[in-house]
């Protein structure tokens, strides 16, 4: 079958829809909407950086606006709509997909044995850690002693033995994250956390691999080979295995090759998504409203996509020395009406109830009043965009418990006065 030809805007519009960004900050957080979002995008990433808020709370705020955090805690840790595992990296994943995740968990012992003899060498340690959790759980890493001969830890390679055992038991599905205390994991036996494990028959690993590709395509709408390789990254899939899975899906008629305007490589989509892609090519506005995006948002799991579809270069500058940063320590992309128009570098000063916008950097094309450089749906009203940034900043401030928003720097500087006025006059 000949590849289907699509404009860039079709791929960009469906990507926004599949990432639940058609109406940012306009949905209501419920058990059903949370499960639908996390299952649909493949995971809600967890990260420890707390300059503004934890990553998962920022990502949820981008879709649901200001929500009750106790509602999320109840849905995730009491109702178990979600549980902690890995897809891109450490994430909340949907419990309804437990057969999928069990297929992955069952493969972990085989993979670890292929890499080293650690499991067989340390089976007594692994069993003793598991027994301690069964008898006294939930327990965390701090509940297991570090051998005095090891000194202090400073990274994965200096973890104490019990921490390696916890990691292995968690990844292989023998224990699960029961809860967190001060953001530290506390583990319990898997069956105690997710009693439905007994009736969730695991997929074969071959089926898991096939579903991984199909669900990644569902989450992105359409994707190039490197998008698929970088979107769902755990466990690492060899490129040869990814290609083989794709070719098998094409032969079965489940996946179709695409030629996307301006892209040199072949793209792919689920056959059932071709009508949606064609509709997306005709849509007048793929996203309505404004929001900021967390650096660890699934929308940005493969940042090369944003460059290809929107000509928007993004990187997290946490590890860049301060004087060399362009946009700030923890800059958040600004999404307005389907366009990535800039970024905001915020910091919450909780002790004084202030959300500081340390740097608002607007894209040159936007600041000059030009058309967007890649996928676009008409001109952008600059006044409406600045108002959207101000409204998003006030919403985020309320969500993190701050009563005021201050503005330090704007690029270009000429837009500082109107943005400050919008923040002040609300």
The CA distance from 357 to 29, in Å, is 26
Which DSSP category does 156 fall into?
G
Alpha carbon distance 124, 206 (integer Å): 31
Closest CA to 145 of 168, 157, 128: 128
End-to-end CA separation in angstroms for the chain = 56
40, pLDDT greater than 80: yes
pLDDT at 150: 47
Structure tokens at 88: 């891109």
251 pLDDT more than 50: yes
Contact 276, 258 (CB under 8 A): no
pLDDT at 398: 97
pLDDT at residue number 327: 93
Q: What pLDDT was estimated at residue 328?
A: 92
For the ranges 37-41, 152-156, 390-394, 406-410, the lowest mean pLDDT is seen at 152-156
pLDDT of residue 158: 47
Q: Name the average pLDDT for the chain.
A: 93
State yes or no: pLDDT of 344 exceeds 80: yes
Quote the pLDDT of residue 156: 40
pLDDT score recorded for residue 161: 85
Cα 294 from Cα 368, distance rounded (Å): 26
Q: Where are the beta strands (DSSP E) in 286-331?
A: 290-292
Q: Is the pLDDT of residue 264 over 50?
A: yes
Question: Please, are residues 153 and 160 in contact by the beta-carbon 8 Å criterion?
Answer: yes
pLDDT at 218 over 80: yes
Name the percent of the chain lying above pLDDT 70: 96
pLDDT of amino acid 122: 85
Task: Detail the DSSP E strand segments found in 337-376.
Answer: 339-349, 354-362
Q: What pLDDT, on a 0 to 100 scale, did the predictor assign at position 97?
A: 96
Q: Which residue has the higher pLDDT, 118 or 53?
A: 53
Nearest C-alpha neighbor of 310 from the set 15, 1, 6, 4: 15
| Mean pLDDT calculated for residue range 385-404 | 97
Mean of pLDDT values over 235-256: 95
The number of beta carbons lying within 10 Å of the beta carbon of residue 239 is 12
Share of the chain above pLDDT 90, in %: 86
**pLDDT tens-digit map of 180-204:** 999 999 999 999 999 998 888 889 9
At residue 404, the pLDDT reads 96
**Mean of pLDDT values over 99-103:** 95
Mean pLDDT of 390-417: 97
pLDDT at 112 over 90: no
3-state secondary structure of 270: strand
pLDDT in tens, 115-166: 777 788 889 999 999 999 999 989 999 999 766 554 555 444 445 788 989 9
- 82's enclosing H/E stretch is strand 82-86
Name the nearest CA neighbour of 19 among 3, 4, 41, 39.
Answer: 41
Place of tokens 């952008």: 380
Per-residue pLDDT at 426 exceeds 70: no
pLDDT tens digits, one per residue of 276-307: 999 999 999 999 999 999 999 999 999 999 99
**What are the angstrom distances between the C-alpha of 404 and each of 59, 380, 411?**
21, 28, 21
pLDDT of residue 118: 79
């Amino acid at each position: 079958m000949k590849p289907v030809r699509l404009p860039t805007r079709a791929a960009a519009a469906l990507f926004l829809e599949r990432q639940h960004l058609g109406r940012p900050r306009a949905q209501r957080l419920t058990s059903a909407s949370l499960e639908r979002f996390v299952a649909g995008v493949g995971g809600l990433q967890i990260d420890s950086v707390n300059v503004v808020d934890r990553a998962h709370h920022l990502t949820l705020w981008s879709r649901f606006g200001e929500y009750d955090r106790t509602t999320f805690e109840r849905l995730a840790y009491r109702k178990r709509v979600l549980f902690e595992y890995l897809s891109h990296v450490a994430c909340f994943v949907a419990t309804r997909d437990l057969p999928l995740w069990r297929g992955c968990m069952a493969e972990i012992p085989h993979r670890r044995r292929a890499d080293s003899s650690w499991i067989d060498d340390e089976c007594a340690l692994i069993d003793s850690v598991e027994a301690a959790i069964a008898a006294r759980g939930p327990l965390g890493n701090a509940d297991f002693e570090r051998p005095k001969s090891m000194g202090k830890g400073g990274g994965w390679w200096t973890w104490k033995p019990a921490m390696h055992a916890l990691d292995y038991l968690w990844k292989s599905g023998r224990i699960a994250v029961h809860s967190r205390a001060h953001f530290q994991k506390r583990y319990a036996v898997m069956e105690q956390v997710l009693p439905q494990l007994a009736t969730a028959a695991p997929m074969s690993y071959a089926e898991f691999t096939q579903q991984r590709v199909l669900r990644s395509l569902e989450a992105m709408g359409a994707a190039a080979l490197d998008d698929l390789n970088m979107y769902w990254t755990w466990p690492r899939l060899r490129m040869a295995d990814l290609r083989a899975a794709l070719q098998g899906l094409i032969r079965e008629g489940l996946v179709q090759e695409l030629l996307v305007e301006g892209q040199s490589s072949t793209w792919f989509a689920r056959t059932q998504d071709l009508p949606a892609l064609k509709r997306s090519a005709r849509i007048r506005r793929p996203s309505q409203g404004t929001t900021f995006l967390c650096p660890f948002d699934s929308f940005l799991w493969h940042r090369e996509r944003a460059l290809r579809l929107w000509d928007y270069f993004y990187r997290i500058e946490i590890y860049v020395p301060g004087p060399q940063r362009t946009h700030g320590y923890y800059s958040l992309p600004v999404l307005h009406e389907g366009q990535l128009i800039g970024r905001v570098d915020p910091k919450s000063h909780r002790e004084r109830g202030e959300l500081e916008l340390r740097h608002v950097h607007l894209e040159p094309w936007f600041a000059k009043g030009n058309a967007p450089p890649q996928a676009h749906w008409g001109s952008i009203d600059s006044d409406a965009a600045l108002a959207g940034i101000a409204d998003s900043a006030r919403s985020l401030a309320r969500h993190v418990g701050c009563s005021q928003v201050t503005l330090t720097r704007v690029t270009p500087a000429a837009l500082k006065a109107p943005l400050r006025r919008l923040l002040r006059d609300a």
